[in-house]
Amino acid sequence: MLFMTTPLDILSDQFGHNAFRPGQAEIVDYILEGRNVLAVMPTGAGKSICYQVPSQLLDKPTVVISPLVALMDNQAAGLRANGVPVASIHSGQSREENVAQWKAIASGQTKLLYLSPERLMQPRMLAAMRALDPALFVVDEAHCVSKWGPAFRPEYGDLGRLKEMFPNARVAAFTATADEATRKDIASQLFKGQGEVIVHGFDRPNLSLTVAPLSNRTNQLLDWMEAQRGQCGIVYCLSRKNTEKYAEVLRDKGYNALPYHAGLSAEVRFENQERFLAEPAVIIVATIAFGMGIDKSNVRFVYHLNLPSSLEAYYQEIGRAGRDGAPSETGMIYALDDIRMRRQFISDDGSDSDHQMREHRRLDALLGYCEAAKCRRQILMAYFGESSEPCGNCDVCQNPPVLIDATDAAKALFGAIEQTGQRFGSGHVIAVARGDETDRIKQFNHQDLPAFGQAKQPKPWFQGLLRQAVALRYLNVNMEAYGRLELLPKAYDILNAGESFMCKDPTVKRAGSKKVIRAADRYKPDLNSDDTELLSRLKALRMDFARQLGKPAFVVFSDATLIDMVSRKPENRADMLDVSGVGPSKFDRFGEAFLAEIKG
Ligand code: ADP
Ligand code: ZN
């Protein structure tokens, strides 16, 4: 009698996971049935498993096309730690090494080969590939195939030929970011649309979502960080200068914070990245140059000091937190200035007006998210085409905003803008609405306008109102004209058509006056003090192994695995194999040591 190995067997025996995540099993089945697939899943959703599991069940090799050496190396390290043999060919290795890797795949010693698109498409490689007769081509970072996507790569353009050259192989493409048009384009290029397109797992319930208007960047950052002490995370800034400034602010307060931006030398960048991967509780303060290809599963927080460029970018950036599924925090602060700057970037971009229009609309969606009056996650999921329930793990769910009728104040403000000729910035029009007697007002005789002094709310209150009016498209900040404020059609509806203006109460709360329950506290497994102590001993042991191996700690075990270990307290091999993230191969290498540590 023949015992069939199932995908689930491979998942648990080789990778140590007890169950497929939603979406994974479906993709694995499609691949095993011989169908082409494009899977759009966010960072951290577990795309690799979707092709690594079938690769172990197919009778011919799997070839994974990946754009970056760092990505390949990380994947290979992770696989080897699980005892799965893997080959990779790239320019970072000697010729001899590459030849040896080819032998490993050609002889069937390994079933998985990683290489770059430009290498694959070399005529000699293609000829050798024909003899290898792969069962599956995997295109990683598949959005690079499409000119519609955010990062077209010419060397990916050629991959459309694969399907013709290898009619027996199926193609599985993966990306974390592709809107409707881009998906269609990828599927049509890679497999003439003959295959399945799956969008899955955009919901990352373990990530908390918080957005706050700017009051004081340094104080807000330090407040946020206080709750993150001892954790590792990423702080994103817009400018290189600020990455260095805020890294220093954090270092002054005793955090292990390092800057990262494209202006640092390659050595410094490499070293900071390595330290981030290898040491516990390192905080990287970075521009968006940091992140792509970083595979660290226990990043506990991502904090944005500025507005990101779009919801796609934002979701990809916060998606670097909590890839192990354990509770993780994300926060963002944004200001009117950020909106101004983003609009400026789009206008300065020099691309055609259609493109600019699309970009402005994407920015609008992001601003709508920032000013959300209902669950943030619902807004995000709707944007990515998934529906969802209020999450309970965002600041809006936890502290539902009070909506107020601010029609009178809005009329005063919009009236001030209209009556001053739509030629002034926020400071001046607020002063007019409030009836402040500034020199500028006297200079222009604006004290005689009907709107003058029609509202009495404090300045910060008005700034909050104005930010919402800009985010919700009542007002435009005109970048070509030094950021002056202009009325959009919705504002005229308020002024002239009797519409009312409902908004979140802009009253500035004193920081810390209302305690937000952090996701990490609410979901924290109930670890008593003994358990907490055990967890830190296990972390120390993990660090020892990681140092010996010269690999990042998560290659040994993820945080989620250690937490599971602490709550289960396995006493023997069988118990240990029940722990999520422990498979036989990892057990053979690390299991006994961890059992001994748990026994105490
Ligand atoms: P992606 O490529 O989508 O960004 P990865 O493939 O790197 O994500 O997986 C992210 C994390 O999720 C890894 O730590 C991986 O071990 C873990 N993971 C993947 N699938 C499962 C599963 N079925 N059960 C538990 N953990 C999983
Ligand atoms: Zn919510």
pLDDT at 364 over 90: no
46 Cα to the center of ligand 1, angstroms: 3
| Closest approach atom of ligand 1 to CA 15 | 16
Q: pLDDT tens digits, residue range 457-488?
A: 999 899 889 988 887 889 888 766 667 899 99
Across 189-247, the runs of DSSP E, i.e. the strands, are 196-199, 207-213, 233-236
Q: pLDDT tens digits, residue range 526-554?
A: 567 788 888 888 988 988 888 888 777 77
Q: Do 515 and 526 touch, CB atoms closer than 8 A?
A: no
3-state helix, strand, coil in the chain (%, to 5): 50, 15, 40
Whether ligand 1 lies within 6 angstroms of the CB of 20 is answered as yes
- In DSSP terms, 201 is beta-bridged to none
Sign of CA dihedral 11, 15, 17, 20: negative
CA distance 376 to 394: 6
Q: pLDDT tens digits, residue range 301-335?
A: 999 999 998 888 899 899 899 988 889 999 999 98
pLDDT at 178 over 70: yes
Q: Whose CA is nearest to atom 23 of ligand 1?
A: 20
Whether ligand 1 lies within 6 angstroms of the CB of 324 is answered as yes
Q: What is the CATH number of domain 403-504?
A: 1.10.10.10
> In the prediction, which pLDDT does 511 show?
42
176-192 mean pLDDT: 86
pLDDT at 392 over 60: yes
Whether ligand 1 lies within 6 angstroms of the CB of 10 is answered as no
Please state which of the ranges 20-24, 349-353, 503-507 shows the lowest mean pLDDT: 349-353
Confidence class of residue 87 from pLDDT cuts 50, 70 and 90? Answer: very high
Whether ligand 1 lies within 6 angstroms of the CB of 191 is answered as no
Whether ligand 1 lies within 6 angstroms of the CB of 45 is answered as yes
| Closest approach atom of ligand 1 to CA 47 | 3
Task: Specify which of 109-113, 366-370, 475-479, 540-544 reaches the highest per-range mean pLDDT.
Answer: 109-113
User: Ligand 1 pocket: which of 8, 9, 10, 17 to mutate (most atoms <8 Å of CB)?
Assistant: 17
389 Cα to the center of ligand 2, angstroms: 8
Q: Whose CA is nearest to atom 21 of ligand 1?
A: 46
Alpha-helical regions (H) of 399-480:
407-419, 426-434, 439-444, 459-471
Distances in Å between the alpha carbon of 339 and those of 213, 242, 472, 479?
12, 18, 12, 10
> In the prediction, which pLDDT does 509 show?
60
The string of DSSP letters for 254-315 reads T-EEEEE-TTS-HHHHHHHHHHHHHSTTEEEEE-TTS-TT---TT--EEEESS--S-HHHHH
User: Ligand 1 pocket: which of 8, 20, 49 to mutate (most atoms <8 Å of CB)?
Assistant: 49
Question: Which ligand is closest in space to the CA of residue 373?
Answer: 2
> In the prediction, which pLDDT does 355 show?
75
Q: pLDDT tens digits, residue range 508-523?
A: 664 443 344 444 444 4
Q: Whose CA is nearest to atom 2 of ligand 1?
A: 47
Alpha-helical regions (H) of 505-550:
519-523, 529-549
Which pTM was predicted? Answer: 0.63
Confidence class of residue 440 from pLDDT cuts 50, 70 and 90? Answer: very high
> In the prediction, which pLDDT does 365 show?
83
222-240 mean pLDDT: 93
Q: pLDDT tens digits, residue range 396-417?
A: 999 888 889 999 999 999 999 9
| Closest approach atom of ligand 1 to CA 48 | 6
Name the CATH superfamily for 7-199: P-loop containing nucleotide triphosphate hydrolases (3.40.50.300)
CA distance 279 to 257: 11
- In DSSP terms, 196 is beta-bridged to 37
- In the numeric block, which tokens belong to residue 373? 């009056």
Confidence class of residue 346 from pLDDT cuts 50, 70 and 90? Answer: confident
What's the chain's average pLDDT?
A: 88
pLDDT at 180 over 90: no
561-580 mean pLDDT: 89
Share of the chain above pLDDT 70, in %: 94
Q: In the chain, where are the structural domains located?
A: 7-199, 207-398, 403-504, 526-599
48-70 mean pLDDT: 94
CB-based burial of residue 515 (10 Å sphere; 0-12 exposed, 13-18 middle, 19+ buried)?
exposed
| Closest approach atom of ligand 1 to CA 45 | 3
Share of the chain above pLDDT 90, in %: 55
> In the prediction, which pLDDT does 515 show?
43
Domains 7-199 and 207-398 share a fold: yes
pLDDT at 387 over 80: no
> In the prediction, which pLDDT does 584 show?
87
Beta carbons within 8 Å of 560's beta carbon, 6+ residues apart: 297, 298, 324, 325, 326, 580, 581
The angle subtended at Cα 75 by Cα 570 and Cα 8, nearest 5°, is: 50
> In the prediction, which pLDDT does 480 show?
65
Instruction: Could you please state the CATH topology (level 3) that the domain comprising 526-599 is classified under.
Output: DNA polymerase; domain 1 (1.10.150)
Instruction: Could you please state the CATH topology (level 3) that the domain comprising 207-398 is classified under.
Output: Rossmann fold (3.40.50)
First to last CA, the chain: 45
